[in-house]
Structure 1
Amino acid sequence: MTPLGTPLATRIGGLRLAASAGLLVMLAGCAIPNMNSGPQATAPVPEQYQDWFDGGRPVNMEWMHKQTVKKADQAIAAGNPREAIRLLNLLTDQGFPQAHYELGKLFDQGKAVERDPARAAENYAKAVSTPSYILGHASLNLAKLYREGDGVERNDLLAYHLLRQAVEEDLGRDARLMLADLLVEGGQGVKANPQRAAALYTKAAEEGQDEALLALAKAYSPGGWLAEAPERAMDYSGRYAEALRERAAAGETDAMIRLAELHAPDGLLGDQPERRLHWLRQASQAGDKDALAKAGSALVDAGKTQQGIAMLEEAARNGDVDAMTQLGRALTERRPGEARRWLEKATEQGSMDARVSLGRMLIDGSAGAADPRRGVALLEEAAQRDDPLALAALGDYYMSDEVDASQPYIAVDYLKRGHELGHPWATQLLGKAYLEGRGVSADPQRAEALLREAADQGQSAALGLLGQAYLEGEALPFHPSRGEELLQAAVEAGETSAMTTLGEAYLAGPLEARPERGLSLLRQAAERGDGYAMVVLGRAYRKGEGGLPRDLDKATQWLTRARQAGHESADEAMTRVNRDLGAQGDIKALVKAAEAGNRGAMADLGRAFLEGKGVQQNLGHARTWLTHAANAGHNGARADLGEMLLDSDPERAVTLLRTAADNGHSGARLTLGRAYLEGEHVAADPGQGVAYLRPAAEAGNPYAALLLGQAYLAGNGVEADPKKGEKWLNQAVQSGDLSARANLGRVLLRGENGVTRDLERGKALLEEASVQGHPGAMATLGREYIRGGNLQQDVRRGADYLLQAAEQGHSSARLSLAKAYLAANGLENASQEQALMWLNNVMDGDSGMALQTLHELLSDDKAIKALQAEAQASAG
């Protein structure tokens, strides 16, 4: 700085020249080294700005130019800014810092001139370059511009040093508050210093600055930036409230509004609806138009709907556009037509919130007639202006199939934009998209991160989605305890769908059964209108799940409510109840539902007549009702009717079965697969048969796996492949299919179709199937014991197995025994019909006598040879 011994005019001129030479560089916001608020100390003043902070004795020439400044103020008051600027420029030309400060204020505040923050910063900078009594004020005003990037490039470091300088000048303004705000989290080049920030706030509070009390209350509250101290937080909150009450008593509506905010659900003094409403009413009566709308909304939120709507209507009639929007939202379910009119009016007056609400209403059809095209147009207009809720709503619309064919890729684009703009609903929907792999490649880790982010922002449904995913164990690893914890958190937040999911998990799994808790949760969800909760309750009572008693009457009651609520799965669940009732003899309920046009009931009634369950069997009635159900689009009825018509009308039967199979009916696929493999009712087409069977086999159907295994062993419709054949038969065996067990046992025992022989496992499989009553396994064991070779010969034991098979109607076992009878009696040329007639007579009598008779028969050498020849032929 110029030495103080230099003559005054020279010092001022030198300072003015220095300021002019460096001003453009100073205000350009020169790059500051990239210093974050990590372990580094706050950076020093950059060299090019040292002139602002080098201290020195203030130049006080106020007495010389006081009258000129006063005349400038008068010119401004008279609406003559040109004269004011001319007068102040006379002073700036003489290096008078207060003149620069006054010009800075003129352009900063936009008094009588258009606001120009860049010119304001330029003048403030010249003011702080010369020490004077206005140094602190100019420093504070310039710091605000740099802190906000207003007219200059944002520069936290310069703002910090300017604020320090302003604090040292002890202005009695808000310099301490601003410096404390900066030090709470730090900034570029400024290290965070919470303790110093707290000291500054404390000092500001002692000086009577209310905002300091608010800052300290938040700092000591849970989640604040100081160590949590509830008592101190409450003390500062109370002191802040007291200060606001004094201002409110003086008629300040802003203080009244702030008092209302203190008593809001997330306010520092806790949720106190009556106190909140009191202050909002006070503000409204004091003339704050916005307060009237806020009070109305608060009343609606508090459940005092009529009062709230009345206040909103008053505010809306007074022209409050926000009130029109809030009123439209409040009336959407109660008086949708009126709601739409208010939203239309607010939209016409430019409310973006109303535009979005109206768009969503028209898509949902809640205003009477749905108009999704206009609804989407309104939302897209808002989305073009980056309205985050509109982006989220469009993402939800394009992801849904309810109104139009879903377009998940378009949906994800909207959701990504909404997420980037910080809307938690968009974040939740985007997380769900990553979870399900809709519109994006499935990414469970990304999905979980997004859903947790949404949950942290208050989207409790995101917790429910995560919890459900952990219970399902598909998109995320199966983790029931974590799923339960997340769902419970969502329930505590009031999420209805989470109540249903958790309640169902307690009744039907996978969580440990807690029937009382599950029932309670589901009833809560049902009382809130959740149709699926009603379905789950109906199913649980129908099946007697989770410790509930089986009660078809209660099942019917809940499913009837689910139907009335419009839940899509209620009809299917009800038809199952009706089928159960029909099986118990209460066919009237089933007939009534069928005659009312319920396609599921038609199908069930057709099956009831087909099987003779609950009614006398009547194939004509069965065909009629199954036809009605099939024509109504019931896929199961198509499959049942198709199978029923295979013998009488194969062409129509195959058409029905194909339609059912194409729509995912596994039974139809099995029937067609078997028919094409074996050439029954259709021209043989093994390749087509395998094509129908493979998806069912891959989905775990044991019968499909059996048929596919047999096809690979025989090379029927596919290239023969013993390993694949054995693999599919093994899959069927593991699923408990007895025929597969008998087939695989036979193949392994005999080493058929290229399969490596495994006598021990083959015998074990055949014996297991035999013990469980499979006649084919019995017949195979019988022949193998009679023939010898694969098993040690034991004719008597073999005859026992053949007899057991014959008793169950196994045709080749019966024929073998009949041929043995013919051979033993020298009647090889007699008809097999006579032999089978003899066998029937023997087996229709006492089983012990039949066994003795057959053992006596098989003691004859000719009979034994006949059986061995038959066994050899069957194995060969």
Structure 2
Amino acid sequence: MMLPHFRSFTPQGLRWSKAFPLTASAAMALWLGGCAAPGSQFQSTGVDPLPAQYQDFFDGEQPRNPEWMHDNALDKAEQLVAAGQTREAILELKAVAAQDIPKAYYELGKIWDQGKGIQADPAKAATYYEDAVRTPSYILGHASLNLAKLSLEQEGAPYRPVLAYYLLEQAMEEQIGRDEGVVMASLLARGADGVAADPQRALALYRQAADTGNADATLALAQAYAEGGWLDNDPERSRQYAQRYAEGLRERAGGGDVKAMTELAELYAADGLLAGNDEQRLHWLTQAAQAGDPGAVAKAGREMLESGRADQGAELLSEAAKTGDVDAMERLGKLLLEGDGLRARPMEARSWLEKAIAEDSVTARVTLGRALLEGDALPAEPQRGIRLLEEAANRDDALALAVLGQVYLSDERVPSQPIMAARYLERGHELGHPFATEQLGKLYLEGRGVAANPARAERLLREAIEQGQTGALRVLGEAYLQQDGPLAYQPNEAERLLSQAVEAGDTSAATRLGEAYLTGDLAGGQGLQQASVPSQPQTPAASSTMSPTTSSTRLPTPSAQPEVSPRVEAGRRLLTQAAEQGDAYAMVVLGRAYRDGTGVERDLTAATDWLERAEQAGHPSAAEALLRTQRDRGKAGDIQALIASARQGNVNSMADLGRAYRDGQGIGQNNAEASRWLEQAARQGHPGAAAALGRMYLDGDGVSRDPAKGAELLKMAVAGGHAGARADLGELLLSGNGVDADPERGRQLLQQAAEAGNQYAAQTLGEAYLDGQGVTADGEQAERWLSQASEAGNLSARSALGTALIRGDQQLAQDVQRGEQLLTSAADQGHAGAQANLGREYLRGDNLERDTRQGADYLLQAARQGHETARLALAKAYLAANGLENANREQALVWLDGVMDGNSQLASQTLHDLLSDEATLAAMPAAMEADS
């Protein structure tokens, strides 16, 4: 251990002067003999030597320059500082300091150190303290301590832990009675550059200070014995010291010390030294809040919220927000927006969020941006919402990036832009947001907006799972269930992941897992025990809107039913759980299962109920499944049960009965009864009944055609959420067929229905954009919607798109190969229009290589289905080939009807043989041109 000088004190406290220096040996003997200065018993090892430039800080001389002569000037400077005249005080002190008076340097250092009336400047303060230390005086110890503190703070002044150590030794020798021992202990507890840690000396110094009532030392010991402290973990000792520290704080708090109140609250926080007493924490926060601490008001508000006292929490947060607390504004805005535990006040919420945004809050931008996008709590303002989110994203807010990625993928508020979405999600993932990681993984799985990369998709989804994203469990589980999907088929892993998602409350995962169990896709899996399902779920039949007196339609089954496997039963329970929670697809799966007897006993009443609910929820496949179920009910002879239920006032049964009368399913067709029952159901708010009756009035199907009344009924159905009605009403408003046209509203309805998966709406919208009917012709939009309908199996859309692509007209660039593929696909599946168009193209030979025989074949197929243009072209071509080219339309069709009306194989073969004649084939193109 190296010290610049050893110094001791006489009983009178006088320092040895340089006139009477100790020899080195004498000093060492004095040191070892136990007569060293206070603190020397704790001398540390492992401290670097004092740098040479600081040697004069420790010269050991006695004080000189009698400072008492300048007491008046020093007192005057102190009074000037107290009066706020710091600049004048500095001038007074500098005049005294010019005479080499350490006290003047010391007071100047304090002014710059504490920022008394001026901007604090630690570096300048350190310089003045150094001047004070260089000349021995009675303030040497104080100046040494202050300079040591600045040398350890790393906030403006040079960081010099070795110098700080020697300065602290000097302050301790001076016995100034401040916190020099505590500061030394804090330095030695963990060490610093050039100062090795000395836990034992630090402990002794802290204990010595704590025993004299030093609060900082008491707190330091509580922290040292706590988990993660620099002493061996001793929770009991830590708590004892923390209690002692709290006693001192309570005494101060009782005297009105607000800081002591907030410190007490922190001690009782979840991560505090006295954790486990929430009431005490809330008590002291409330005390501090009442004493006027705005920070405590906000903290108390948050504590109230977390403890379930939402109204009190909101009131405290409001008080804090009024004082300018931005965090309180953010939290209050979110609370009032969501109404978590209290009445939602969205407009007030928006006001607070706007104020926080004015204070440049990123969090408030994200909260308000999402609310304006969703349009639930507040009126939708998509553009403003996106702008706020983009502002937050530009500040690298990961949540904003994740939400923007979702927005540009959903195609709900703005047109989907997968490439832009991928960019946002990539940045959100890099910033560590798990939802961004999940969505990005899904994009790479689907190859949407990015090149498909199953390996990276799998890694990203696994990463999102580790971060707690339930959706990633479901996405990856579903991917592993696909036998021909982008990832390897892993049914056991799929079951494990989906089961975990169900445990976490993911309703869609429950639906997918339940469907897999019910249909046998996971018959041999290993993870059944992990799926969380209700022990006694409500059965679909029990939850049906049918009257309790109405019997279900059950088909005869063998007397000995095969035992239902545990997985099938689990599937039914999972699907029931998901359906009761509002999952429309689960309703469809259950409805189909009860209709077909898949994994459950066949029950057409339960099937109808679930499919009705799915239709009302807007699932696109529900209507078709429901129509088939209704046909099955009629075949099963359950019409009387349906009539009884309808008469008892069951609105679903009224709608079912009306459709049964309309279609003649299970009962004689009766349009009057159909319209009566559908009218009753529609008046009671049944969207499906309103849609069905509206179509009848539009088409004049069994009732007098009344487009205006049909439109009103369709509007009722749309208001009730009926997806199919959107398509019908949209087409009507687009064309104005019998009603006032509203092309823009019609386009919106068609687009909504198409986005919900209605292929007829997509076809209608695509054809409108193709022909410019009610909208501006737009090839890109036409191709988009016709492609969607085509991919969904709509043959008319496939035919229209294929024809347009082959010809390269109606705003579409010519793509003969794709057009031929689409048209051939539709024609081979029996679409008469596709057969006629393909036949024309083969016969003309303008876009496709001419093949008159193939063209005639397709045209013949179309004619056999009654396609008017195809029939006429065939007839005229044959008659022209036989010298009767002047035969009129009626004569040609009479001839064709004579050949085809018998519908016998012989008649058809005769017609084909006639058309195979070279002369007839040669006349075909001209006939086609005449009819195009």
1:51 paired to 2:48: no
Measure, in 2, the Cα distance between the counterparts of 1:208 and 1:449: 55
Deviation at 1:303, TM superposition (A): 0.4
**Corresponding letter in the other structure for 2:96:** L
Query: CA offsets per residue over residues 605-661 of structure 1, 9 Å max, x none?
Result: 466699999779x9x999x9999999955999979x99xxxxxxxxxxxx9999479
Q: What's 2:296 paired with?
A: 291
Q: What's 2:533 paired with?
A: 519
Q: What's 1:130 paired with?
A: 135
Any conservation in 1 of the 2:366–2:388 contact (CA below 8 Å)? yes
1:579 paired to 2:592: yes
User: After the TM superposition, which residues 451-850 of structure 1 pair with which residues of structure 2 at under 5 Å, given as runs?
Assistant: 461=468, 513=527, 515=529, 518-519=532-533, 547=567, 549=569, 555-556=575-576, 558-562=578-582, 570-583=583-596, 584=602, 585-586=604-605, 588-589=608-609, 592=612, 596=616, 598-605=619-626, 659=787, 663=791
Q: What's 1:76 paired with?
A: 81
**Corresponding letter in the other structure for 1:461:** G
Q: What's 2:238 paired with?
A: 233
Change in Cα spacing, 1:122 to 1:484, as seen in structure 2 (3 Å) is farther
**Pick from 306, 329, 333: which aligns with 1:301?**
306
Identity %: 36
Measure, in 2, the Cα distance between the counterparts of 1:430 and 1:548: 35
**RMSD, aligned α-carbons:** 6.0
Change in Cα spacing, 1:228 to 1:78, as seen in structure 2 (3 Å) is closer
User: After the TM superposition, which residues 28-43 of structure 1 pair with which residues of structure 2 at under 5 Å, given as runs?
Assistant: none
Measure, in 2, the Cα distance between the counterparts of 1:243 and 1:413: 52
1:214 paired to 2:219: yes
Deviation at 1:337, TM superposition (A): 2.2
**Corresponding letter in the other structure for 1:577:** L
Unmatched runs of 5 consecutive residues or more in structure 2? 8-16, 19-44, 481-485, 538-562, 597-601, 638-659, 666-691, 696-722, 729-752, 764-782, 797-815, 826-932
Q: What's 1:268 paired with?
A: 273
Change in Cα spacing, 1:636 to 1:312, as seen in structure 2 (3 Å) is closer
Unmatched runs of 5 consecutive residues or more in structure 1? 5-10, 13-40, 420-425, 524-542, 563-569, 643-654, 669-683, 694-876
**Corresponding letter in the other structure for 1:519:** V
Any conservation in 2 of the 1:507–1:514 contact (CA below 8 Å)? no
Measure, in 2, the Cα distance between the counterparts of 1:544 and 1:111: 84
Q: What's 1:250 paired with?
A: 255
Q: What's 1:343 paired with?
A: 353
Deviation at 1:580, TM superposition (A): 1.7
**Corresponding letter in the other structure for 1:571:** A
**Corresponding letter in the other structure for 1:136:** G
Measure, in 2, the Cα distance between the counterparts of 1:94 and 1:428: 67
User: After the TM superposition, which residues 142-221 of structure 1 pair with which residues of structure 2 at under 5 Å, given as runs?
Assistant: 142-163=147-168, 165-167=170-172, 169-194=174-199, 196-221=201-226
TM-score by length of 1: 0.54
SS at match of 2:468: helix
Measure, in 2, the Cα distance between the counterparts of 1:177 and 1:478: 63
Measure, in 2, the Cα distance between the counterparts of 1:359 and 1:657: 30
Measure, in 2, the Cα distance between the counterparts of 1:178 and 1:657: 75
Query: CA offsets per residue over residues 492-533 of structure 1, 9 Å max, x none?
Result: xxx76699799979997899546487237999xxxxxxxxxx
Q: What's 2:424 paired with?
A: 411
Query: CA offsets per residue over residues 670-694 of structure 1, 9 Å max, x none?
Result: xxxxxxxxxxxxxx9999999x99x
**Corresponding letter in the other structure for 1:572:** Y
Query: CA offsets per residue over residues 430-489 of structure 1, 9 Å max, x none?
Result: 66578668699976999699879xx8xxxx7369969997998899999999x9999999
**Corresponding letter in the other structure for 1:579:** R
Q: Higher mean Cα deviation, 251-260 or 429-438? A: 429-438
Measure, in 2, the Cα distance between the counterparts of 1:487 and 1:67: 84
Any conservation in 2 of the 1:124–1:142 contact (CA below 8 Å)? yes
Measure, in 2, the Cα distance between the counterparts of 1:340 and 1:153: 48
**Pick from 398, 401, 416: which aligns with 2:405?**
398
**Corresponding letter in the other structure for 1:257:** T
Q: What's 1:281 paired with?
A: 286
Any conservation in 2 of the 1:506–1:518 contact (CA below 8 Å)? no
SS at match of 2:110: helix
Measure, in 2, the Cα distance between the counterparts of 1:466 and 1:167: 63
Change in Cα spacing, 1:88 to 1:154, as seen in structure 2 (3 Å) is same
Measure, in 1, the Cα distance between the counterparts of 2:533 and 2:188: 53
User: After the TM superposition, which residues 114-125 of structure 1 pair with which residues of structure 2 at under 5 Å, given as runs?
Assistant: 114-125=119-130
Measure, in 1, the Cα distance between the counterparts of 2:48 and 2:116: 35
Query: CA offsets per residue over residues 733-760 of structure 1, 9 Å max, x none?
Result: xxxxxxxxxxxxxxxxxxxxxxxxxxxx
Deviation at 1:102, TM superposition (A): 0.9
Deviation at 1:260, TM superposition (A): 1.8
Q: What's 1:107 paired with?
A: 112
Measure, in 2, the Cα distance between the counterparts of 1:660 and 1:217: 68
Deviation at 1:245, TM superposition (A): 1.2
Change in Cα spacing, 1:610 to 1:347, as seen in structure 2 (3 Å) is same
Which structure has the highest helix share of the two? 1
Measure, in 1, the Cα distance between the counterparts of 2:291 and 2:487: 56
**Pick from 358, 362, 380: which aligns with 2:368?**
358
Any conservation in 1 of the 2:514–2:572 contact (CA below 8 Å)? no
Measure, in 2, the Cα distance between the counterparts of 1:265 and 1:429: 28
User: After the TM superposition, which residues 437-448 of structure 1 pair with which residues of structure 2 at under 5 Å, given as runs?
Assistant: none
SS at match of 1:518: coil
SS at match of 1:549: helix
Measure, in 1, the Cα distance between the counterparts of 2:214 and 2:139: 21
Any conservation in 2 of the 1:359–1:376 contact (CA below 8 Å)? yes
Change in Cα spacing, 1:148 to 1:521, as seen in structure 2 (3 Å) is farther
Change in Cα spacing, 1:609 to 1:377, as seen in structure 2 (3 Å) is closer
Q: What's 2:859 paired with?
A: none
Any conservation in 2 of the 1:635–1:663 contact (CA below 8 Å)? no
Deviation at 1:103, TM superposition (A): 0.7
**Corresponding letter in the other structure for 1:56:** G
Q: Higher mean Cα deviation, 391-400 or 229-238? A: 391-400
Any conservation in 2 of the 1:600–1:634 contact (CA below 8 Å)? no
